[in-house]
Amino acid sequence: MTTKDDTRILAPLARANTDHASSMLDALKATPLSTRELARWFEHYQRSPRSVRDRLVAQPRLFIESLAAANEIRADRHVRAGPEAQWERDLRHLQALIGRLHPALPQMLESHEFTEWLCRLRTVLARFQNDLTRSLDHDPDRDSRSRPHPACAEAQSA
């Protein structure tokens, strides 16, 4: 039995491909999907090439179950790697993003719209840099003013 929400997904499918819509209705009779699962299925269907779409229509339940299993594996990996792995990924992304933005900086400084954004960014980065400096320079076993954190000294020499 399809709901009103399901019809919002199946109607566009029927307009685009009546054979797929018919097959999908048959598959849903045999192994129903929740509205959320059907929406997730349709998102993937829309982005998939024709050969994959045929398999998605033939076995929608199998697709949803494999998607759930993949998400579970990803979540397990995330927990196992810990927050350090996420930090490393985020820092790599940030470094790459800054690398992409940096060459256009002179042009962006000429735009009043971007000058405001750049001022906000400078404030956020200054706050982050202050916190970073305080954290890296904090070592209860030594005078923090005498020398930088060993990791920073290694990075600077490299």
CA 148, CA 158: separation in Å to the nearest integer? 15
Cα 69 to Cα 83: distance, rounded to the nearest angstrom: 22
| Cα separation, 21 vs 39, whole angstroms | 14
pTM score over 0.75: no
Residues 6+ apart with CB under 8 A from 66: none
pLDDT tens for the 158 residues of the chain, in order: 556 677 888 898 999 899 999 999 999 899 999 999 999 999 999 999 998 999 999 999 999 999 999 999 988 888 888 888 889 999 999 999 999 999 998 888 888 888 888 889 999 999 999 998 998 887 555 454 545 556 555 555 54
